[in-house]
Amino acid sequence: MSPLNIQKGASKHSAYDLRDPNAEVIETHTLAVIVDNESGVLARVIGLFSARGYNIDSLTVAEVDHLGHLSRITVVTSGTPQVIVQIKAQLERMVVVHRVHDLTMEGPNVQRELALFKVKGSGEHRIEALRLAEIFRANVVDSTLESFVFEMTGPPQKVDAFAELMQPLGLIEVARTGVAAISRGV
Amino acid sequence: MTRQMTGAKMVIEALKDQGVDVVFGYPGGAVLPIYDEMFQQNDIKHILVRHEQGAIHAAEGYARSTGKPGVVLVTSGPGATNTVTGIVDALMDSIPIVVLTGQVPTFMIGSDAFQEGDTVGITRPCTKMNWLVKETDKLAGTIHEAFHVATSGRPGPVLVDIPKDVQFATGTYTEKAAARTAHYAPRTKGDPEMIARMVELIETAERPVFYTGGGVINSGDRATELLRDWAEATGFPVTSTLMGLGCYPASGKSWLGMLGMHGTYQANWAMHDCDLMLNIGARFDDRITGRINAFSPDSTKVHIDIDPSSLNKVIHTQVPIVGDIAEVLEEALALWKSRGSRVNREALAKWWKQIDEWRAVDCLAYKPGVHAIRPQHAIARLEALTKEMDRYITTEVGQHQMWAAQYLGFEGPNRWMTSGGLGTMGYGVPASIGVQIAHPDALVINVAGEASWLMNMQEMGTAVQYRAPVKQFILNNERLGMVRQWQELLHGERYSSSWSEALPDFVKLADAFGCKGIRCDNEADLDDAIREMLAYDGPVIFDCIVEKHENCFPMIPSGNAHNQMLLGDADTQGVIGAKGAVLV
């Protein structure tokens, strides 16, 4: 945003200054949020992020403990250190939230996502796509005479890299699950 | 022994088990079974409001003046949506409110049925927690859980949405003790290491100040007592936010008055120049801090709050303490005493000398009225004539609210009900009724502006019906005063839509409602008119005609620091800079 230059009596301005006065370095954190598995929980967590202007880079959710009615939300978010701490505090005080793990702070962790790529092409492009898929250990899960669907799991960077390589080879569609993450060791 | 009953009956039983004696509400199709049960019992009194927003604000007044949760019962759809403003208000000011809403039958949810609204969806972001109850067996347990959540930790509003078929069906009642509550247990005990650091800071501080907020009052009477004990023993100055007024007595020798945008000169300067700031149950709201990077630049900051997300949200604090204020103060006070109750007396004497110089500025002085009553004078006279009484004050929102905060003195907690965080015009009339219902023999005054007052004036019908002798003290300047003040300072004196035209005749209006109307338009008659209001046994609408263009001072303009206060009209030229103009 450009600096505001408002004369006394001017009226073209917004109601709030939205710039962060303490802007610092932006960090990306992966949080594992253990919540009650009941209706509306996901809306509650997503609503918190949108209401307070926090970023969601990726978000996944699924039940992980059927008997305990617990779901695990893995959310990748970014912000200044102060914002990250605030996000955790805001999540922790929600009634439906049992625990918040900041995997990024808690040590080494494994991050994986599943992606499906539809690549259309023929001739050399088709062969090159297959060769690259092999290098990336992507599996062919559907094939027609003019297309492939590749399946791949890996950290998001690997998925990004594969998508970039497939782009000139006829990539027409991508489906990604978003990140699931867990800490290493016990 | 299990008890079987209908869902509607369960609602009443659960409320009784929770010790509820009053419910504020409005019936409608989706809550008829509950109203039928309400009709057939005498333990819980139902107050019929005139609009659902009034029910919430009345419950807020009840809750804040008693320390107990307020309860609201409304129907589905519009009944529920009309409560939203009040729910947000309660969330912002941390008021425990339990809202029970009717819903269309479970098998019709999602079909756009008559008076269907997605109540839990609409209120999800503005409640501490809400529930849609789909089985009668779970209803009583959910209501007990709702009370637990509303009143535990940082208090706030909760909502339970109850479909009509769930009310009709029979199920097993869950006793209060058996309800699920253990999963929500906010931490109340402070970190001993942090408490020790706070005590060390107190022992050596040269220019300390207690910055107290609504959290002290929410924590309960014990917190208020401990704060007073400590302020007394240390001799440290005390200021409060708008929400904290009354946690330290206005007549106390360490009292600096309210701080913030319209706080006193001495309170704001003390905040700016202090070397130790003890934030107890306040949240560094933007009305308090002014410009963040100029906020109290040389102080070490201690912050005690039961809500971890309040710590380091806006202002970095060196000593954050998560915990219940009474528990933390109890431990800290004991530790401080065990170490010899030390403070830096010499430095404190110098600090008080400085504070007395600021006090000598007499920032709340005002000129006598020329053409009409000065609004400040009206409040000052109200104070003089009522301060010895068993008195509760509510307000609307605007200039009158700030004048009330400045010129009324509060000796104890739970005596001052105002919409702080949300700034809800229309809060005061219903809130005053809620307070009066809780304290039938007390004097309850709603200090109002004419514009705010009109927003929920229909509740005068409620006051008359339930013989709630609330006194509506309206400072009538025929302006939306605070808006007008900002337009004068910031928008080239273009008063866009900030006047009240076509106002009703308030005396006739009072007559029409069946209460008493009084008009006063000069200072000579003011005391007698106020006495007449106080003497009347019933609701009064007092139309106090005041100076139309009076501005509220002192004032820290938006985007400025605490040491850049305006004391009067002469100071106002070009004071709000470009950055301040974007703030409200």
Each residue's pLDDT, cut to its tens digit, for chain B (584 residues) gives 689 999 999 999 999 999 999 999 999 999 999 999 999 999 999 999 999 999 999 999 999 999 999 999 999 999 999 999 999 999 999 999 999 999 999 999 999 999 999 999 999 999 999 999 999 999 999 999 999 999 999 999 999 999 999 999 999 999 999 999 988 999 999 999 999 999 999 999 999 999 999 999 999 999 999 999 999 999 999 999 999 999 999 999 999 999 999 999 999 999 999 999 999 999 999 899 988 889 999 999 999 999 999 999 999 999 999 999 999 999 999 999 999 999 999 999 999 999 999 999 999 999 887 778 999 999 999 999 999 999 999 999 999 999 999 999 999 999 999 999 999 999 999 999 999 999 999 999 999 999 999 999 999 999 999 999 999 999 999 999 999 999 998 889 999 999 998 999 999 999 999 999 999 999 999 999 999 999 999 999 999 999 999 999 999 987 888 888 888 876 665 566 656 666 66
B58 with B45: CB under 8 angstroms? no
Contact residues on chain A for B151, CB-CB shorter than 8 A: none
Q: How far apart are the first and last CA of chain B?
A: 58
Chain A CB within 8 Å of residue B578 CB:
yes
CA of A181 vs chain B CAs: smallest distance (Å): 25
Query: In the structure encoding, which two tokens stand for residue B209, read together?
Result: 């100040």
* Nearest chain A residue to B580, by CA: A17
* Subunit contact B129:A10, Cβ cutoff 8 A: no
* Nearest chain A residue to B123, by CA: A44
Most A-contacting residue of B309, B315, B494, B579 (CB-CB within 10 A), to test interface: B309
* Subunit contact B582:A47, Cβ cutoff 8 A: no
* Subunit contact A93:B129, Cβ cutoff 8 A: no
From the list B164, B176, B301, B516, the catalytic residue is B164
* Subunit contact A95:B129, Cβ cutoff 8 A: yes
pLDDT for B81: 98
| Cα–Cα distance, B313 to B310 (Å, whole number) | 5
For residue A89, give the nearest of B125, B309, B584 by CB distance. B309
Query: In the structure encoding, which two tokens stand for residue B374, read together?
Result: 């000065």
B262 with B405: CB under 8 angstroms? yes
Preceding omega of B554 cis (within 30 degrees of 0): yes
- CA dihedral (B458, B462, B464, B469) in degrees, to 10, reads -100
Query: In the structure encoding, which two tokens stand for residue B321, read together?
Result: 């303490």
Chain A CB within 8 Å of residue B183 CB:
yes
For residue B293, give the nearest of A5, A21, A39 by CB distance. A21
pLDDT for A14: 38
B176 in active site: no
Measured in degrees and rounded to the nearest 5, phi and psi for residue A108 equal -60, 145
Assigned CATH for B375-545: 3.40.50.970
Contact residues on chain A for B297, CB-CB shorter than 8 A: none
* Subunit contact B582:A9, Cβ cutoff 8 A: no
Measured in degrees and rounded to the nearest 5, phi and psi for residue B121 equal -70, -45
* Subunit contact B124:A44, Cβ cutoff 8 A: yes
pLDDT for B370: 75
* Nearest chain A residue to B146, by CA: A95
B103 in active site: no
B128 with A44: CB under 8 angstroms? no
Q: Which of B310, B304, B280 is nearest to B195 (CA)?
A: B304
| Cα–Cα distance, B464 to B433 (Å, whole number) | 10
Q: Which of B295, B315, B297 is nearest to B305 (CA)?
A: B315
Length of chain B: 584
DSSP, collapsed to helix, strand or coil, labels residue A52 as: coil
For residue B490, give the nearest of A8, A95, A98 by CB distance. A8
pLDDT for A4: 40
Q: Which of B20, B186, B42 is nearest to B100 (CA)?
A: B20
- ipTM over 0.90? The verdict is no
| Cα–Cα distance, B480 to B494 (Å, whole number) | 13
Domain A109-183 has CATH 3.30.70.1150: yes
pLDDT for A1: 31
B260 with B235: CB under 8 angstroms? no
Beta-carbon count within 10 A of B40 CB = 8
Contact residues on chain B for A95, CB-CB shorter than 8 A: 128-129, 149, 183-184
Contact residues on chain A for B121, CB-CB shorter than 8 A: 40, 43
| Cα–Cα distance, B302 to B212 (Å, whole number) | 11
CB contact residues (below 8 A), chain B span 288-347, against chain A: 292-293, 307-309, 311-313, 316
pLDDT tens, N- to C-terminus, chain A (186 residues):
333 444 443 333 434 444 444 557 899 999 999 999 998 999 999 999 999 999 999 999 999 999 999 999 999 999 998 899 999 999 999 999 999 999 999 999 999 999 999 999 999 999 999 999 999 999 999 999 999 999 999 999 999 999 999 999 999 999 999 999 999 998
* Subunit contact A39:B132, Cβ cutoff 8 A: yes
Q: Where in chain B is the domain with CATH 3.40.50.970?
A: 4-178, 375-545
Q: Which of B521, B338, B542 is nearest to B432 (CA)?
A: B542
Most B-contacting residue of A93, A94, A99 (CB-CB within 10 A), to test interface: A93
Domain B192-359 has CATH 3.40.50.1220: yes
| Cα–Cα distance, B429 to B92 (Å, whole number) | 19
Chain A CB within 8 Å of residue B121 CB:
yes
Most A-contacting residue of B305, B582, B583, B584 (CB-CB within 10 A), to test interface: B582
pLDDT for B124: 96
* Subunit contact B578:A47, Cβ cutoff 8 A: no
Q: Where in chain B is the domain with CATH 3.40.50.1220?
A: 192-359
For residue B125, give the nearest of A8, A51, A98 by CB distance. A51
CA of A26 vs chain B CAs: smallest distance (Å): 17
Q: Longest Cα pair distance anywhere in chain A, in angstroms?
A: 69
Domain ranges across chain A: 27-106, 109-183
Q: What DSSP letter does each residue of B499-545 carry, written as one string?
A: B--S---HHHHHHHHTSEEEEE-SHHHHHHHHHHHHH-SS-EEEEEE
What is the DSSP code (8-state) at residue A11?
-
Chain A CB within 8 Å of residue B125 CB:
yes
Chain A CB within 8 Å of residue B497 CB:
no
In sequence order, what are the beta bridge partners of A28?
A78
B114 in active site: yes
What beta strand segments (E) does B298-427 contain?
300-305, 319-322, 391-395, 416-417
Q: Longest Cα pair distance anywhere in chain B, in angstroms?
A: 75
Helices (H), B536-581: 578-581
- B319-322 and B443-449 strand pairing: unpaired
The label of the residue with tokens 């009538």 reads B476
Query: In the structure encoding, which two tokens stand for residue A7, read together?
Result: 């004369």
CATH architecture of the domain covering A27-106 = 2-Layer Sandwich (3.30)
Which element (helix H / strand E) includes B224? helix B221-234
Which residues of A sit within 8 Å Cβ distance of B? 3-6, 8-11, 13-17, 21-22, 36, 39-40, 43-44, 47-48, 51, 82, 85-86, 89-90, 92-96, 98
* Subunit contact A6:B581, Cβ cutoff 8 A: yes
- A97-102 and A171-176 strand pairing: unpaired
B147 with B69: CB under 8 angstroms? yes
Domain B4-178 classification at class level: alpha beta
